[in-house]
Structure 1
Amino acid sequence: MRVGDVTVRIHGIDAPETNQTCDDAQGRTWPCGAFVTEEISRRYEGKTATCELIELDRYGRSVAKCFVAGSDVGEQIVADGLAQAYRQYSMDYDLVEKSAQVLSLGLWAGTMQSPAAFRADQRAAVLDANPPSTPTDANCFIKGNISVSGQIYHMPHNRHYDNTRINENRGERWFCSEADAQAAGWRAARN
């Protein structure tokens, strides 16, 4: 959701990805992610929202509870079956989601893969198509990764080291020392 010039991620919900598909009650595939994107845009575009910042996520993005006309946007989206409660981060909408499920509202009228599982499958497919490189020198084990946060290097003790893949075709690379990474303009991972 855009609030002024800031993109805000709605706290406590996980909506389908734009390219995600679902199956309706008859088992027919339909573009549920595009539908949800359009529906949320239709409902909230141009409206005045008040948001309470909850946190910055690991990518530095704002995660907030937002209200339009006094109504909790996240709660309404989950109540209408347009997103799941994101229990990994919050239990705020757990019962709201269960109610939408029981009533077969929105996405619950059929079946869908959880958005988190869909994203994991997408990442796995990319890795299968572009297997990670391995360092040509065993002493050069520092991973230079490019992400939305910029050029970041990861040491083996960093939380995301094992999950970080290096794709040299994208300009990512291996470093032999932190000094080499810093001299090349890369910054250390924050975790």
Structure 2
Amino acid sequence: MTQPAQAQALRGTAVAVDGDSLEVGGTRIRLFGIDAPEFDQTCKRNGETWSCGKSAKDQLAALVAGQEIECQGQGVDQYGRVLAVCWAGRDELNEAVVTQGWAVAYRDFSDAYIPAETRAKASRLGIWSSTFALPSAYRLSKLEPAPAPVPESLARPMVKAQPPTWTGGCAIKGNRNRRGQWIYHLPGMPYYDRTRAEEMFCTEAQAQAAGYRRAIVQ
């Protein structure tokens, strides 16, 4: 029986949702530290297009078929999925998927699977036998265009931007992404340096008062 997600430990039979996601007893799990092609993503091999995202899911399904899966949670992502390292018996699934060439190491969150990726790439296994877009780049390409500007009369109240500083002052970046989410990033967070600040805040309280939520860090 699957334990509550809050316990951060889950056990049970699993169903593959895509190449790096499982469902265990009704709980969605995202395999931590790896990134597989999206289910609808395609790759090219010898000039031919093939459904590498579907193949990645099929490979994960084969790894978990008939097995009792044990997962140790590392947190929860923005979609409510438990981020976890999972095992089928003695085999760690996260590493196995990368080793077989069906996912890349997700460097934004972990360096643990870079050696496995290097070996799979050298042996041209799985997606490494093809040309492909990194899954993260593919997801960005699928985002809808930014929405039209909101009329000033309907716009949310704004806190005046403060000049950035790295000396303990106003260094919190507020950003409105293409999904319409209002998120703030603190110095040291994974996406801080890549985030384009639309507003700067001195404190988290200021950012929250302006309608932003803190970025989820895994």
**TM-score (normalizing by structure 1):** 0.72
What letter corresponds to residue 154 of structure 2 in structure 1? C
The one of 123, 130, 134 equivalent to 2:149 is 134
Correspondence 1:4 to 2:25: yes
For residues 126 and 159 of structure 2, the distance between their equivalents in structure 1, rounded to whole angstroms, comes to 44
Name the amino acid aligned to 1:120. Answer: L
Which of 86, 102, 118 is matched with 2:122 structurally?
Answer: 102
Cα RMSD after superposing both structures: 2.5
% identical equivalent positions: 31
Compute the TM-score of the two structures, normalised by the length of structure 2: 0.63
d(CA) in 2 for partners of 1:111 and 1:140?
A: 46
Q: How big is each residue's C-alpha offset from its partner over 1:67-107, in whole Å with a ceiling of 9 and x where there is no partner?
A: 00111101000000000010110011001100000011111
Structure 1: where are the runs of 5+ without partners?
A: 144-153, 167-187
Amino acid at match of 1:80: Q
Match of 1:163 in 2: 177
Closer, same or farther: CA 30–156 of 1 in aligned 2, 3 Å: farther
Is the 1:15–1:115 contact (alpha carbons within 8 Å) kept by the matching residues of 2? Answer: yes
Structure 2 alignment gaps of length 5 or more:
1-21, 162-171, 181-210
The number of residues matched between the two structures is 153
Give the residue type in structure 1 aligned to 2:94. Answer: G
**Paired residue secondary structure (2:213):** coil
Which letter does structure 2 place at the counterpart of 1:61? R
Shift in alpha-carbon separation, 1:165–1:8, aligned structure 2, 3 A: closer
Shift of residue 159 of structure 1?
Answer: 6.1
Is the contact made by 2:63 and 2:93 (CA closer than 8 Å) also made in structure 1? no
